[in-house]
Amino acid sequence: MKRVIIAGASSGIGRELACLYARAGNRTGITGRRIELLEELKTEFPLNILVKQHDITSENGIQKLDELVSELGGLDIIIISSGWGKQNPGLTPEIEKLTNDTNVRGYSDTAVWAYKYFAGQKSGHIACISSIAGIRGIDVCPSYSASKAYQINHLEALRRKAKKEKKNIIVTTIIPGFVDTVMAQGDFIFWKSPVEKAAKQIYNALEKRRKIVYITKRWRLIAWLLKILPGFLQERV
Ligand SMILES: NC(=O)c1ccc[n+]([C@@H]2O[C@H](COP(=O)([O-])OP(=O)(O)OC[C@H]3O[C@@H](n4cnc5c(N)ncnc54)[C@H](OP(=O)(O)O)[C@@H]3O)[C@@H](O)[C@H]2O)c1
């Protein structure tokens, strides 16, 4: 039995992951702003799920996580699925700000809090759902793609830090392509994975303590192509 926090479990990938962890008998703390959705999920697994309303961008976000850890009786793994993004071709400042507040500041506060907690107990597992959008800058969603690149680099830095400090902290970077949730909207969507399939692949990768995982597996090839694509070709896509 593990003690798990899934940040951003009120819908989408986080919700599916919460079902998998709770069904497997783990003590599963779920967070998000939409408390009614979290409470609804708890009714399916009343013995294994604990609910905490938590806005990852708020000043007292860390305090809420501390409270949840106390209620869980400790923490073995945190999965950060909280995220926000929207196409923003008009560069609306509010969209840029909300994206950065959620995916950069909120993510970073949470990941750093988790690293310090796990460093104190000398073991633990941090995972975050970044995105294939973080591999290169995307013209229609500048902040979203940049924020996901931030997560990929920040997680790599934490992984290296743990190794250097000889801490038994696993850091998993999850890089999905398109997954069938409210977030996967737009014209250029393909290979959209059912959310149940994506969550199951993430769950299996976390059980294997993988460092980097593409969801679904074929997105590894797209990531590789994106990385080697020269800038002048990238600008034509
Ligand atoms: N779907 C895709 O194709 C896809 C592809 C690549 C990466 N991703 C990433 O996967 C993650 C999960 O997204 P999803 O597709 O499952 O979409 P989703 O259904 O919209 O889930 C997003 C989750 O994040 C939470 N969240 C958003 N803002 C928050 C805040 N300020 N504080 C706390 N929680 C917040 C939401 O909860 P509340 O609204 O209740 O707060 C919700 O539970 C995101 O990081 C997304 O960028 C998705």
User: The domain that contains 69 carries what CATH number?
Assistant: 3.40.50.720
Q: Which residue's CA lies nearest to atom 7 of ligand 1?
A: 131
Average pLDDT over residues 33-59: 97
Q: Is the pLDDT of residue 230 over 90?
A: no
Average pLDDT over residues 72-97: 97
- Alpha-carbon distance of 45 to 2, in angstroms, equals 15
pLDDT score, position 5: 98
33 ligand 1 Cβ < 6 A: yes
117 ligand 1 Cβ < 6 A: no
From the candidates 21, 144, 150, 214, give the one annotated as an active-site residue. Answer: 144
- Alpha-carbon distance of 56 to 206, in angstroms, equals 22
Per residue in 155-168, pLDDT tens?
A: 999 999 999 999 99
* Better-scored residue on pLDDT, 237 or 29: 29
In one-letter notation, the amino acid at residue 22 is A
- Alpha-carbon distance of 54 to 65, in angstroms, equals 8
193 ligand 1 Cβ < 6 A: no
Q: Which residue's CA lies nearest to atom 19 of ligand 1?
A: 12
- Alpha-carbon distance of 228 to 140, in angstroms, equals 21
Q: Is the pLDDT of residue 236 over 80?
A: no
- Alpha-carbon distance of 23 to 47, in angstroms, equals 10
The DSSP secondary-structure symbol of 193 reads B
Q: Is the pLDDT of residue 198 over 90?
A: yes
Cis peptide before 28 (omega within 30 of 0): no
Q: Whole-number mean pLDDT of the chain?
A: 96
81 ligand 1 Cβ < 6 A: yes
Cα distances (Å, whole numbers) of residue 114 to 5, 142, 170 = 10, 28, 11
Question: How many domains is the chain built from?
Answer: 1
pLDDT confidence band for 50 (50 / 70 / 90):
very high
Average pLDDT over residues 17-21: 98
The pTM for the full model equals 0.97
Give the domain range for residue 153.
3-234
The phi, psi pair for 48, rounded to 5°, reads -110, -10
pLDDT score, position 237: 67
Active site residue 21: no
Per residue in 104-146, pLDDT tens?
A: 999 999 999 999 999 999 999 999 999 999 999 999 999 999 9
Please give the distance, rounded to the nearest whole angstrom, from the Cα atom of residue 161 to the centre of ligand 1.
27
